[in-house]
Amino acid sequence: MSVPSSLQAGPFVSLVLVKKRYLVFYIYLIWVSLFSVQLEFWWYWNLLYGWKFIHFIIFLPLLVLVMYITLVFVSLLNAKLLLVITNIIHRPREGTFLRDPSDKDFRYWSIRNVIKRWPIWLTHKFPFPFLDNICFKLFDVKTKFSNSLFEGWVDTEFIDFGKEVVIGQGSIIQSSVIIGNLFIIRKTIIEDNVRIGAHTVVMPGTQIKKNAILAASSITTIGQELEEGWIYLGVPASKFKRNVFFEDNLEEIIEKQLQDVEKIHQDYEKLYTKRHDKKI
């Protein structure tokens, strides 16, 4: 199963064992982005006049910021160019494939992830999230700037987000997964006003419809559909109750429901602790 390198936040690409022949992508992207920054620094140094050292110290913070943004955009644009060429040779597609270098779909998925790794790492180190959104968009992930996706780990292809989507800390949103010797790619669709709790796992092919909530520490199944306006929780995720958090008179609704706190707690525990392998 493809997992993040750790549970730290950020849209990192799936783990791929980099083959020696793929290192050329790393070398090219790192070189071209650092070379552009080097040229920028050389131009700035020659632009200074008079008290060079004083001017250099005063404007150095601004220079570093500009150079970092240049580094990010040069790496992103060159990665996009490589991805366009790679996709012309072999177009990404959904399906179930073999996890083997001889399988073309698995091989080119690995190449795409290698190409994306450097620019994604750079964009996520920037303290403002707009670069992450730009990175998603350049890699053909449908998203909006109103979304908060940066506390979780998100795949970088075959994912469509609506607007006002919030991803909880340490959650994992996947469009591809490796199970045994099988490699599965399915488009994951998350519609408007969806809330995904901390440490959840959204498996490939999941469709979460408008105003739905996936509670913390829940897991969907491959290709699962979560209905509009419902709260889901558990492993695997199942219906818990209607989502009233987008309705009018919210305070009155919550106060009425909290009158039977013990029943709600029992239902919650039952769904989380219920075993699904008793019949096996």
Strands 182-185, 176-179: parallel, antiparallel or unpaired by DSSP?
Answer: antiparallel
**pLDDT at position 83 over 80:** yes
CB of 12 closer than 8 Å to CB of 5: yes
| Residue predicted with more confidence, 266 or 255 | 266
Q: Encode burial over 201-220: b for 16+ CB neighbours within 10 A, e otherwise.
A: bbbbbbbbbbbbbbbebbbb
Is the confidence at residue 245, as pLDDT, over 50?
Answer: yes
Is the pLDDT at 278 greater than 60? The verdict is no
**Six token digits for residue 246:** 């987008």
Q: Is residue 212 part of a domain?
A: yes
Per-residue pLDDT, averaged over 165-188, amounts to 89
Instruction: Give residue 240's pLDDT band: very low, low, confident or very high (50, 70, 90).
Output: confident
Residue 184: band (very low, low, confident or very high) from pLDDT cuts 50, 70, 90: very high
Largest CA distance in the chain: 83
Given a cut of 80, whether residue 8 has pLDDT beyond it is: no
| pLDDT of residue 5 exceeding 50 | no
pLDDT for residue 79: 93
Residue 264 has pLDDT above 80, yes or no: no
* pLDDT, average across residues 38-54: 76
Name the pLDDT band for 190 (thresholds 50, 70, 90): very high
Query: What's the domain count of the chain?
Result: 1
The enclosing domain of 195 has a CATH number of: 2.160.10.10
Domain that holds residue 142: 20-246+262-273
pLDDT at 82: 93
40 pLDDT above the threshold of 90: no
Within a domain: residue 64? yes
| Contact predicate 132/123, CB 8 Å | yes
Cis peptide leading into residue 11 (ω within 30°): no
> Residues 226, 209: contact at Cβ < 8 Å?
yes
Q: How far apart are CA 239 and CA 242, in angstroms?
A: 8
pTM: 0.76
* The pLDDT of residue 213: 92
In this prediction, residue 160 carries a pLDDT of 92
Give the residue with greater pLDDT, 279 vs 172: 172
Specify if 224 maps to a domain.
yes
Q: What percent of the chain has pLDDT over 70?
A: 80
Q: Is 32 domain-assigned? A: yes
pLDDT confidence tier of residue 6, bands split at 50, 70 and 90: very low
251 in a structural domain: no
Asked if residue 255 has pLDDT above 80, the reply is: no
